[in-house]
Chains A and B, each alone.
Chain A
Amino acid sequence: MNTITLTEDEQDVLQELMNVAYGNATAVVAEMLDAFASLSIPNIKVMETSELLHQFQSLKGESYFFSTQAFVGEFSGESAFFIDNVSAKNLSTHLELESEEDLDDAILELTNVLTSSLTTRLAQEMDTQVKFSLPSISKIPLAEISNNQTFQQYSQVIVIDTQLNFEDQKINGEIFILTKDGSIQWLKNQLNSILEALM
């Protein structure tokens, strides 16, 4: 298996594109929740899938809501969103939700809005389009993450990891964008083209 690496410049370009996309997505979610989010610097890593699953499982707190949404196109992969129990409860309070069913629904809608606007804008910045292949988003118990069939499609992944943080409401989430093996070379070419155009 070839080892994927990103050069310093490729990482910088991807981080900046993600920054722009995340800023856009956050504004949409902030408006939806009527709250202000503080933005953090995206963290970009290349890792093997086994390492990623280990990272997922080591996230603090035993019970997380974990939802994923796959996307396809020249840029293909999957976005994943974690929110812990405390944040979920705070979200429920903030939105004045009455039942657990309503909370599940709110989290799935939050995931949908966040990841679709984030991925769409990221693709747009790279001059391409994505289609979301799954009509619905699934909620997966943390213990079953490694059994998730979609992760079997990856050998190594470029992981873009950032935080969703509504400080006043004490709602925190973590977003991962995973790039499929077949899209990695395309992604590297796009990142280099963007940088070369400025030189």
Chain B
Amino acid sequence: MTKLIKDGAFAQDDFALLADDAPLPEDGGALVSLARFQKERDSLLARNAPIGVKLQASESPELLGVDVNRLSLIALEFPRFRDGRAFSWARMLRTRLGYQGEVRAVGDFLYDQINYQHRVGFDAWSVPDDFTIEQFHRALQEMTDVYQPSADGRKTIRDLRALR
């Protein structure tokens, strides 16, 4: 089982992950695959409830087209922790596509990747049940400074040098 960390704390998961052939619930958030979203776009967007799409590592958020900003949740999958494509997808969502909704990390990722995920624009994590909130905060604090600008808008070491 997994649980959800959002905005720095454990949170209720308001989305039900639906298989491609599962019936749509009457209400409540629904998380569907890109294939299902593309097939049932109109009925999904017409629902009076939040909708999310779960993208595989090989699926660019650009495949969502202009619909991207009508989604409340985009879950980016790490099929194996070595597969780092979702780092670029998250950054694309936040910068190129201006997406403001939830970007959730799901799948096989490591404690040691959470800080990088946070930097590129993830704000939610589906973590194992034994994962603690202290671990989460420690992961974000191991490195104080950063050299690169990214989607988190943090001041870089170059910015800090200029402020001295």
Chain A partners chain B: no
Chain A residues packing against B (C-beta within 8 Å): none
Chain B residues packing against A (C-beta within 8 Å): none
